[in-house]
Amino acid sequence: MRELVKGVFLEEDYPGVRLGAVVADGAALLVDTPLRIEDGREWLAGVGARGRPRYLVLLDDHPDRVYGARGFDLALFAHHRAREAIAAWPDPLRSSAHLQGAEAERLKRVSGLARAVPHVGFDDELHLLLGSMRVELWHRPGPRPGSIWVVVPSARVVFVGDTVWTHEPPYLGEADLEAWLDSLAELRGTAFARYKIVSARDGLVRREALTAMSGFLRKVASRMARLRQHGDEPQAAARLAPQLAKGFRMSAARREQAMLRLQAGLVRLYAEQFARG
């Protein structure tokens, strides 16, 4: 775990998503959880050496960041749309029932998910205090309806969850492309010009990554519209994946999983938002 600025930490060593922690006046707020329960215990101990963990924030309802929350006895926060989605999951849940290229699918069967349901849901914005430090939770849909950011104004750090990907393509099955593009435009604006931007998939990202991500999403929208014009069936959307993936720096070892994620997301996105009824 490394300190980005005083009191704000980034953890990149666990499977799943990159994690964050904000520590001030002896208290800590955690951003997302490791996928595996045992990794969560280790990470909690590491954060606990710097401040007493009080809050846990989930940046959306993606299984990669939610499953590990079963092992945390903290006040748990998320957007109300994410909270509703998690509460609706069957328990136990078979991760392999609908393959989406998620890291969580390696677990196959997950039980005890009631313990991962957030205690507090909010609509647009929620502020939490760690002593004198204010941490702001902002609803910023795009990747999923319940996606949020964790903004630390005094430290000029923002945790943006799945809003930005650089090495691999995102899952698009629950995306709102227009809202996602709006969120990226906001990050490129003057309000965040001096902020460190933390992606849940790639850690610290440069501002050029925001432009590249926007370009990718615009290509997705354009290709989807073209399929719709031709009257294609949803499965045809999977054929778009190789061309759309060219801008990402996928490793050979992870290419199969990343392409599955992209293909599954394209098919669902087209079926639910573009296909003619």
Single-letter code of the amino acid located at 175: A
Q: What are phi and psi of 139, to 5 degrees?
A: -75, 120
pLDDT at 276: 61
Q: What is the pLDDT of residues 204-259, one digit of tens each?
A: 999 999 999 999 999 999 999 999 998 889 999 999 999 999 999 899 999 999 99
Pairwise CA distance, residues 24 & 87, whole Å = 31
According to DSSP, residue 167 is labeled S
Count Cα neighbours of 110 within 13 Å in the Cβ-side half-sphere.
27
Residue 244 lies inside a defined structural domain of this protein: no
User: Does 55 fall in a domain?
Assistant: yes
Instruction: Give residue 96's pLDDT band: very low, low, confident or very high (50, 70, 90).
Output: low
Whether 109 and 89 have beta carbons less than 8 Å apart is answered as no
Mean pLDDT within 18-23:
98
CA separation for the pair 188, 209 (Å, rounded) = 10
Biggest CA–CA distance in the chain, Å, is: 59
Strand partners, 201: none
DSSP 8-state code for residue 216: H
Averaged pLDDT, 43-48: 96
Query: What is the chain's mean pLDDT, rounded?
Result: 94
Give the H or E element holding residue 85. helix 80-87
The model carries a pTM of: 0.96
Q: Residue 270 falls within a domain, yes or no?
A: no
pLDDT the model gives residue 109: 82
For residue 226, being part of any structural domain is answered with no
Return the amino acid letter for 108.
Answer: K
Residue 82 in any domain: the answer is yes
Question: For the residues of 27-71, what is the DSSP string, one character each?
Answer: EEEEES--SSHHHHHHHHHHHHTTSEEEEEE-SS--HHHHGGGGG
- The rounded distance, in Å, linking the Cα atoms of 168 and 101 is 11
The pLDDT value given to residue 93: 82
Q: Does 271 map to a domain?
A: no
**Residue 95: its pLDDT value, please?**
65
pLDDT of residue 16: 87
Domain-located, residue 168: yes
CA dist., res. 99 & res. 228, Å (int): 24
In a domain, 265, yes or no: no
Could you list the residue range(s) of the whole structural domain that residue 183 is in? 2-205
> With contact defined as beta carbons under 8 Å apart, do 19 and 46 qualify?
no
Decide if 49 contacts 71 (C-beta within 8 A): no
In the chain, how many domains are there?
A: 1
Domain harbouring 197, CATH code: 3.60.15.10
Cβ(212)–Cβ(166) below 8 Å: yes
Per-residue pLDDT tens digits for 155-192: 999 999 999 999 999 999 999 999 999 999 999 999 99
> What one-character-per-residue DSSP string does 95-149 give?
GGGS--S-GGGGG-EE--GGGGS-SEEESSEEEEEETTEEEEEEE--SSSTT-EE
Residue 277 above 70 pLDDT? no
Read off the pLDDT of each residue in 128-138 and give the average, rounded to a whole number.
96
Residue 174: the pLDDT is 96
Length of the chain: 277
CA distance 144 to 261: 15
* Tokens representing residue 85 in the block: 């989605």
Q: What local confidence, expressed as pLDDT, does residue 97 receive?
A: 57
Which tokens is 63 given? 């299984």
